Chains A and B, each alone.
Chain A
Amino acid sequence: MMSASLDETVAETAPFDPFELQDTVTGDIRDPYPRMADLRRQSAVHFGNIDFTGSDDPEPPLVSEVPVPVSVFGHDEVVSVLRDDRTYSSTVYEGIMGVVMGPTILQMDAPRHKVQRALVSPAFRSRILERWETELVRSVVDDLIDAFAARGRADLVRELNFGFPVQVIARILGLPMVDYPKFQEWTIGLISVASNWDRAMAASEELRVYLTAVIEQRRRQPADDLISDLVVAEIEGERLSDEDILAFLRLLLPAGVETTYRATGNLLFGLLQHPEQLEALRNDRALFPQAFEESLRWEPPVTVILRKTLKDAVLGGVPIPANSDVGLFLGAANRDDRRYADPDTFDMFRQAQQHVGFGFGVHMCLGMHLARMEARVAVNAILDRLDDIRFDPDADDDPHIHGMAFRSPTSLPVCFSPR
């Protein structure tokens, strides 16, 4: 019964599948931004599936009277959609991530979303996160750097970025260190839902068994961790069910692991490509927030998010029929030249402006303060411990940021003088 209903939902969403895009990308989309800029110059809103793989792609239509996939490339239009959650619904995710994660806040609309988000959000406030900064994150990062520091060269993607967010999120949840390799595997399993259905469903089920036991245990015996907090959280008489908690935890693994590792990589890539900015940050760590925000504008790790119109809408002057899947290209919005001068350039000294790298509206990234703190600690540790860090000229590699739905560097081969 389960698989029949899943097949239905998949068939429904098949015409607009961000993971399919991701697959073509892991195939290798190196720079989708020129194409997006071309499309945006014609119109902020396009209809039909858009191919980013070649240079002679057909032009998508500018109007449609029936619901077809919609793509939005303009900054103001993306912000308008994300602020209007009564027209543009998040329930579109029920048939995508909902299948492997369960009913998470990602796919909820008001009023349920507001209550559920309020129940989980206290743990992600910046002040609450301060304790993890020295107690956990710096020590995890230092251990990983210890393993390669003496060598004088390393690939920061594989040897640092990939390893630390999973350890951080697992410790915050209160899960034993011995299980970390399994989380990494399950995380990759979950997000490969389109390319490898069986693997995603297996990861989902293994996580259910594993986490259900942990939730039951914390209900009996609360500890100093997030799962214990979720078990007792209560707002105006509302509490989280085991199903709610399980879904949230299955969301947290990819959301807290994949995105942070990619975002940290994109920041490091930008800095390594611009040694003068790296040097400025080395000399004045107070510049970190603007450096990280600029990297999130320039190369957000999640480049596309989805909504579905609940009613007929008009966006940027373009009519959109009810029941349309709407793809919001955050990366394109962040490079809208009507808002950002010289948008394709990574420049941490540019005029600070709000961006949509963390999304916007009621679903704006719950973990943004954690991501900011983790990236800051990692980059500070690198700057504290690895002098003269630069791209390794002898590396047999061509490091570049690639991907479509998710983007991050393929590798970050660096050399340095260890302290």
Chain B
Amino acid sequence: MRDRLPDERIAALSLQILIDRDKCMGSGNCVFWAPGTFDLGDDGISVVLEPAEGEESKMFLAQEGCPTRAISLWRDGVEVTSP
């Protein structure tokens, strides 16, 4: 459903991304779903890049697609899942 939000609402989402380094197993699936937002560091653990324009919907795919749910998305101090 998340991609079907009106464009202006997606643009209004300003998300904070948290990665739980203990949970992250370095699957790289976040990099697959949102390559502009995530990368793997030298230690194989996910890191957040400067998020690209219009990547919000992909961030939700990365969050949902993380096999160990190491990624959480936050807005105004509140955790958000797929809108």
User: For the complex, is A60 an interface residue (Cβ under 8 Å from B)?
Assistant: no
Are B32 and A364 interface neighbours, CB within 8 A?
no
Shortest CB–CB separation between residue B53 and chain A, in angstroms? 17
Q: State whether A117 and B64 are in contact (beta carbons under 8 Å apart), knowing that A83-B69, A372-B32 are contacts in the complex.
A: no
Size category of the binding interface on chain A = 20 to 34
Which of B1, B33, B67 gathers most chain A CB within 10 Å? B67
User: For the complex, is B59 an interface residue (Cβ under 8 Å from A)?
Assistant: no
Chain B residue total in the interface (Cβ 8 A): 19
Partner of B28, one of A126, A289, A361: A126
- CB proximity to A under 8 Å, residues B26-76: 26-29, 31-33, 40, 44, 61, 64-65, 67-69
Q: State whether A351 and B3 are in contact (beta carbons under 8 Å apart), knowing that A362-B67, A362-B68 are contacts in the complex.
A: yes
Q: State whether A369 and B28 are in contact (beta carbons under 8 Å apart), knowing that A125-B40, A362-B67 are contacts in the complex.
A: yes
Query: Bound state CA distance, A114 and B45, in angstroms?
Result: 13
- CB proximity to B under 8 Å, residues A218-266: none
Are B3 and A118 interface neighbours, CB within 8 A?
no
Which A residue's beta carbon lies closest to that of B64?
Answer: A354
Query: Bound state CA distance, A366 and B77, in angstroms?
Result: 34
User: For the complex, is A360 an interface residue (Cβ under 8 Å from B)?
Assistant: yes
Query: Bound state CA distance, A364 and B44, in angstroms?
Result: 16
User: For the complex, is B4 an interface residue (Cβ under 8 Å from A)?
Assistant: yes
Are A126 and B3 interface neighbours, CB within 8 A?
no
User: For the complex, is A352 an interface residue (Cβ under 8 Å from B)?
Assistant: yes
Query: Bound state CA distance, A122 and B69, in angstroms?
Result: 20
User: For the complex, is B15 an interface residue (Cβ under 8 Å from A)?
Assistant: no
Are A117 and B28 interface neighbours, CB within 8 A?
no
Chain A 349-368: CB-based contact to B (< 8 A → 1; otherwise 0): 00111100001111010001
User: In the complex, which residues of chain A have a beta carbon less than 8 angstroms from the beta carbon of B17?
Assistant: none
User: In the complex, which residues of chain B have a beta carbon less than 8 angstroms from the beta carbon of A117?
Assistant: 25
A-B CB pair tally, cutoff 8 Å: 49
Are B67 and A360 interface neighbours, CB within 8 A?
yes
Are B67 and A118 interface neighbours, CB within 8 A?
no
Q: State whether A126 and B67 are in contact (beta carbons under 8 Å apart), knowing that A118-B44, A121-B26, A352-B3 are contacts in the complex.
A: no
Which B residue's beta carbon lies closest to that of A361?
Answer: B67
Partner of B25, one of A126, A353, A362: A362
Which A residue's beta carbon lies closest to that of B62?
Answer: A354
User: In the complex, which residues of chain A have a beta carbon less than 8 angstroms from the beta carbon of B44?
Assistant: 118, 121-122, 125
User: In the complex, which residues of chain A have a beta carbon less than 8 angstroms from the beta carbon of B69?
Assistant: 83
- CB proximity to B under 8 Å, residues A89-147: 114, 117-118, 121-122, 125-127
User: In the complex, which residues of chain A have a beta carbon less than 8 angstroms from the beta carbon of B26?
Assistant: 118, 121, 125
Q: State whether A114 and B25 are in contact (beta carbons under 8 Å apart), knowing that A126-B32, A354-B61 are contacts in the complex.
A: yes
Query: Bound state CA distance, A69 and B29, in angstroms?
Result: 31
Which B residue's beta carbon lies closest to that of A372?
Answer: B32
Query: Bound state CA distance, A126 and B46, in angstroms?
Result: 13
User: In the complex, which residues of chain A have a beta carbon less than 8 angstroms from the beta carbon of B1?
Assistant: 351
Q: Give me the interface of B with A, judged by CB distance under 8 Å.
A: 1, 3-4, 25-29, 31-33, 40, 44, 61, 64-65, 67-69
6 pairs of residues in contact across A and B, judged by CB atoms under 8 Å: A122-B44, A351-B4, A352-B3, A353-B61, A354-B65, A362-B68
